[in-house]
Amino acid sequence: MPAQPNIVLGVTGSIAAHKAADIASQLTRADCRVNVVMTADAQRFITPLPFKVLSRQPVVTDLYDEEEGWKPTHIRLADEAALLLIAPATANVIARLATGIADDALTCIALALNPAAKLLIAPAMNGKMWLHPATRRNVELLTERGAHFIGPDEGMLSCGYDGIGRLWEVGGIVEKVLELLDTPKT
């Protein structure tokens, strides 16, 4: 693995968003530079503060969050990323990624992502949403374009159903990120 690879961690609006803080922590401890990008919906479940503290980096919460310098933050992050991890990924963000909609910082980063970077998506949603033909087709399109998926897992969901849709176990997601960083892009 290269010295301190840059990872962009996209956090979307799911009850599983709190688990992304542990992902940020584990990746930072694994000597990765983690830049967290939160959607507006993610901020309804968890605030940016834990991510800022655990990653030791500023957290992007808006497309127009700008640092000093001339390059827009979302373009800089897209250029510097070795891997974009979206965990949790909702059906909504998967659909936006599949259709190329870039209407917030996270989807703009995904659309402008450095071609050498990997994309890893860890879905979390209601099982009926995951199994819906539209979602299945969006996953298929993204996979054809080179995206990697991990999960979802089966178990008790926050909506009260028991079935597929849970965010994959945090340690497994971190392991997959580190594995993809060691694997040359094909």
Which regions of 29-167 does DSSP assign to beta strands (E)? 33-38, 83-89, 118-123, 148-149, 153-156, 162-166
Q: Which residues contact 179 (CB under 8 A, 6 or more apart)?
A: none
- Say which of 137, 159, 161, 183 is annotated catalytic: 159
For the record, the structure tokens of 141 come out as: 């399109």
> Residue 113 and residue 85: Cα distance in Å, rounded?
12
Torsion (CA) 143, 106, 117, 96 in degrees, nearest 10 = 20
> Residue 77 and residue 53: Cα distance in Å, rounded?
19
**Whether residue 159 lies in the annotated active site:** yes
Please list the active-site residues.
159
